[in-house]
Amino acid sequence: MTQLADAKMKYDRIPIPEELSEVVQTAVDYSEERRRKQKKRKKILLIKKSLAAAAAVAVVFTVGLNTSTVFAESMSSLPVIGTIAKVLTFRAYETTTEDLSISVEIPGVELIGEESGLADALNEEIHARCEEYAQEAVKRAEEYREAFMATGGTEEEWKAHNIQIKVWYEIKAQTEQYLSFAVMGAENWVSAYNETRYYNLDLASGKEATLEDLLGSDYIRMVNESVERQIRERSENGEGVFFSPEEGGFAGISQDVKFYINEAGNPVVVFEQYEIAPGSEGMPEFEIINES
């Protein structure tokens, strides 16, 4: 059964409140006697359809992105000024075995008033990425276990590793202009496979925002100068340790540098662990303020 058919079946089962029958009866009493039966039947049918349509919207909002197709079809005909956006949990599950524990929380995006199909495309990508990461993480843990046991490890020693795999998301900004969030995957026994993907939506244009959109065509120079200045200031103030350019440290951003948008509407560029600083610095972040 399709999502649309399933939703329709739920809507058809929605009971009509008793108050509505009284309203209908009052209206019918004012009608001519010879048309009473026909008008009553027509009005009841009309009220049923109106109630089902209104309830349909409420049901879709409640069940969230699992009926995103119905949501888009139901809302497309309603007048909406701009794009209303929110992030909901599309799917969540936890699994614990003797070997490891898995926690997965997959987000999904609802964009009301957006007709480009951006939400559907994003949700498909996010869902695929999260599921793929979780599956590959489990496979890596299994391979690690085999290698551990093959080199003389015991069951008790393996259990002490407490292998944990986690997929989750974090909302960075949710304003009238932008929706920015991060989807993350992590394995507590190996950081090399930890992943973070940022999604930055411009609600005015209905597309993903870029650094050029936020800072202008000269964004590379602007970001480089800001990051270099902040690295220098943090180093001088003892607020961070960074590699020098000669040691493989910061030497300018690439066009695919990661970033998110904060509540102030400013981009925050993010570097991978060990990319420009020792691992103890985690993933260094730098807010870029457009001062032009």
DSSP state of 247: G
Residue 113 has pLDDT above 50, yes or no: yes
pLDDT of residue 284: 97
Q: Which amino acid is at 59?
A: V
pTM: 0.69
Q: Is residue 151 scored above 80 in pLDDT?
A: yes
Share of the chain above pLDDT 90, in %: 58
pLDDT of residue 30: 36
Pairwise pLDDT comparison (36 vs 242), residue with the higher score: 242
Concatenated DSSP letters of 3-46: HHHHHHHHHHTPPPPHHHHHHHHHHHHTS-GGGHHHHHHHHHHH
Return the pLDDT at 36. Answer: 52
CA dist 101 → 38, 92, 106, 128 (Å): 63, 14, 16, 20
Least confident range of 46-50, 76-80, 190-194, 261-265: 76-80
Report, as an integer, the average pLDDT of 246-260.
93
Compute how many other C-beta atoms are within 10 angstroms of the C-beta atom of residue 55.
Answer: 16
- What integer best gives the mean pLDDT of the chain? 78
Report in angstroms the alpha-carbon separations of 185 from 34, 168, 194, 279.
70, 7, 6, 18
What value does the mean pLDDT take over residues 127-144? 94
Q: Domains plus CATH for the chain?
A: 3-75 (no CATH), 82-209 (3.30.565.40), 210-292 (3.90.640.20)
